[in-house]
Amino acid sequence: MVVALLAGAAILWQAYTTFQARYLRPFDNQATLFDGSQLQLPAELAGPGPVRVVHFWDPACPCNVGNQQHLGDLVSQFAGQGVSFHVLQKPGSHGQLPANLAALKPLASLPGSEHLPASPAVAIWDRQGRLAYFGPYSEGAVCNASNSFIEPIIQALLADRPVQASNTLAVGCYCPW
C-alpha cells in the first residue's frame, strides 16, 4: 500500500514538473518594437475596400492562448460592420485555429511579414488600404478587451477618422516570429 502511494506520488510529481517545464514560463518584461514600415497587403486585398485586420499567428506560441478569446470577440463585434479578418500563420509552423476563429480568412503570404519581430501581433489597414496600426493586441502579460489597443482603432477607422500607429513599442507576452 505504501509502495503504491509512493509510486502514485512520484508519477504526479513527474507530471507536474513536465507540465511546468513545458507550459509555464516567466513573464518576459522586455520591450518589443513593432515596425510596420515594410508591411503591405497582398495584391488581392490592396486598395480601397473594407477595414482589414490581419492576425499574425504562431501555433507554437503559448502567448496566443490569452488573445484568441479576445480575437474571437473582435470578429463577433466587428465582422458585420465592414471589417474583414484574415490570418497569416508563421511560415513552417503547423496548427489549426480554434473553432471560434474559423471566420478568419487565411493568407498564403503578406509582403514584409518576414520582418515581424514577434507574435501574436495584428496589422490593421483602413478603407483606403493604408496601414493604420501594427503591433500587439495589448500591453502586459495577458490580452483582453479591457487593456486592448484594437477596439478604439477599429472604431476610429469605421468612423473614417485617420489613425497612424504603424510603429509601436510594447511590453507583453510575445514569441519570436
Q: How confident is the model at residue 22 (pLDDT cuts 50, 70, 90)?
A: low
The yes-or-no verdict on residue 28 having pLDDT over 80 is no
Whether the bond between 91 and the residue before it is cis, its omega within 30 degrees of 0, is no
Out of 29-38, 49-58, 137-146, give the one with best mean pLDDT: 49-58
Q: How confident is the model at residue 163 (pLDDT cuts 50, 70, 90)?
A: very high
- For residues 8 and 20, give the distance between their C-alpha atoms in angstroms, rounded to a whole number: 18
3-class SS shares of the chain: helix, strand, coil, % to 5: 35, 25, 40
Q: Do the beta carbons of residue 174 and residue 136 sit within 8 Å?
A: yes
pTM of the model: 0.82
Q: How confident is the model at residue 143 (pLDDT cuts 50, 70, 90)?
A: low
Q: How does pLDDT run across 63-103, given as a tens digit for each residue?
A: 887 788 889 999 999 999 999 999 999 999 999 999 989 99
Q: How confident is the model at residue 109 (pLDDT cuts 50, 70, 90)?
A: very high
Give me the pLDDT at residue 167, please: 86
Give me the pLDDT at residue 134, please: 97
Segment 17-35 mean pLDDT: 67
Structural domains in the chain, CATH included, are 27-176 (3.40.30.10)
CA–chain centroid gap for 162, Å, is: 23
Q: Quickly count: other Cβ atoms within 10 Å of residue 29's Cβ.
A: 9
Longest CA span, the chain: 73
Average pLDDT, the chain: 88
